[in-house]
Amino acid sequence: MSSFHTPVLLKEIVENLKVKKGNQYIDGTIGGGGHAVEILERGGIVLGIDCDQDAIEHLEKEIKNQKSKIKNWDRLTLVRGNFRDIDRIAHSKGISKVSGVIFDLGVSGHQLETPNRGFSFQKEGPLDMRMDQDLNVKAEDLIKILKKGELYELFTKLGEESRAFELSRRIVRARRVKPIKTTRDLALVLEGGKGATSAYAKASADKKVFQALRIAVNDELNSIKEALPKALALLEGGGRLLVISFHSLEDRIIKNLFLEFALKGKGVVITKKPIIPSFLEIERNRRSRSAKLRVFERSEGA
């Protein structure tokens, strides 16, 4: 299943989830299914959720082709949906309490490597960036309609880009001449920004601007804020909530929500500091280098 997406912090997820045979778990961002398969291997029952139709279709195909290799595959239920609706989705499947919930908030390898999804500035394709292909607004639409001040605010808040003003100005100037429709169109505009005097600076600007657009298109930060309390409510006593993030904005939200849960007496923060990938994992999978895992355990009777 790793051909679709290489799971990050797999060993650490399994160790902290403490899977018990016959218990129910939810993978709220199932992606390529790597984490879910490990839970199935240990006898867990999994509800897998993903808003990306490609991910659901990939897993359905993998299950069909590899039934003999995937242990306990019949204990996996797949649902296409947004993890911000985790409570509604769980209840629709007759699930009221679970022993663990996982969220891997990263972009999948498939999304990055598929040009027509528009997630990567290194791949020529349409400026799309929708994780859920049914969403109405694409990155191209934001680049087309947002005013200079709105682009500046977007790149500053969601991309943490120090040169947001100059980059916003260049985008507004460029789109007056020619529509910015592809990842390459946008990358070329960003490359001319003042201060981007090195290849590293240019790549950094591309990465941060693309990150900001992706977060906005998919309303990612609000989804996290909505999903984590709902996931906590689904946990039984002793159940664990595990979240992998890939940039500071996500990690800050997770950290603060976990502290809030603890102050309200809902449970304890297991990870005082986030768990990060080992040197060996980063060597094998460069995309794992910015991953951070935080773990919260719900108290009995909370």
List, in order, residues 6 or more apart from 189 with CB less than 8 Å away. Answer: 170, 171, 174, 180
Cβ atoms of 36 and 84 closer than 8 Å: no
What pLDDT is stored for residue 129 in this prediction? 96
- Place 2 in a pLDDT band, splitting at 50, 70 and 90: very low
Given its phi and psi angles, is residue 22 left (phi above 0), alpha (psi -120 to 50 degrees) or beta? left
* Mean pLDDT score, 105-110: 84
In degrees rounded to 5, what are phi and psi of residue 301?
75, 5
Question: Residue 275 pairs with which residues in a beta bridge?
Answer: 293
Check whether 302 has a pLDDT greater than 80. no
| Confidence band of 108 (pLDDT split at 50, 70, 90) | confident
Lowest-confidence range among 105-119, 142-156, 186-200, 272-286?
Answer: 186-200
Q: What is the pLDDT of residue 1?
A: 47
- The whole-number pLDDT of residue 63 equals 82
The predicted model gives 132-151 an average pLDDT of: 97
The pLDDT, as a whole number, for residue 123 is 85
Identify the sign of the CA torsion 139, 120, 160, 216: positive
Tell me the C-alpha distance between 155 and 152, whole Å: 5
pLDDT at 194 over 50: no
- Quick one: 10-110+220-298 is in which CATH superfamily? Vaccinia Virus protein VP39 (3.40.50.150)
Strand, coil or helix: 264: coil
Mean pLDDT of 123-135: 94
What is residue 195's predicted lDDT score, i.e. its pLDDT?
47
Q: Which residue has the tokens 């679709």?
A: 4
Q: What is the pLDDT of residues 71-107, one digit of tens each?
A: 788 899 999 999 999 999 999 999 999 999 999 998 8
The pLDDT value given to residue 200: 57
User: Residue 285 pLDDT > 50, yes or no?
Assistant: yes
Q: Choose among 299, 294, 290, 288: nearest CA to 242.
A: 294
Find the DSSP H helices in the chain: 10-17, 34-41, 53-65, 86-92, 109-113, 139-145, 148-157, 164-177, 183-191, 199-218, 220-234, 248-263, 279-284
CA distance 100 to 76: 15
Residue 66 banded pLDDT, cuts 50, 70, 90? confident
Pull the structure tokens for residue 251.
């990690």
Q: List the structure tokens of 4.
A: 């679709």
- Rounded Cα distance between 127 and 182, Å, is 5
Distance CA 52, CA 82 (A): 9
What is the dihedral angle through the alpha carbons of 64, 68, 69, 74, rounded to the nearest 10 degrees? 60
Cα–Cα–Cα angle for 56, 141, 173, nearest 5°?
140
- CATH number assigned to the domain covering 115-218: 1.10.150.170
Domain ranges in the chain?
A: 10-110+220-298, 115-218
Please give the pLDDT value at position 199: 64
User: What does the alpha-carbon distance between residue 32 and residue 108 come to, in Å, rounded to a whole number?
Assistant: 8
219 has pLDDT over 70: yes
- On whether the CB atoms of residues 140 and 73 are closer than 8 A, the answer is no
Question: Are 236 and 298 contacting, i.e. CB atoms less than 8 angstroms apart?
Answer: yes
Reply yes or no on whether the pLDDT at 126 is more than 70. Answer: yes
What letter would DSSP give residue 85? G
Average pLDDT, the chain: 92
Give the distance, in angstroms, between the CA of residue 172 and the centroid of all CA atoms in the same chain: 29
Q: How many CA atoms lie within 13 A of 22 on its CB side?
A: 0
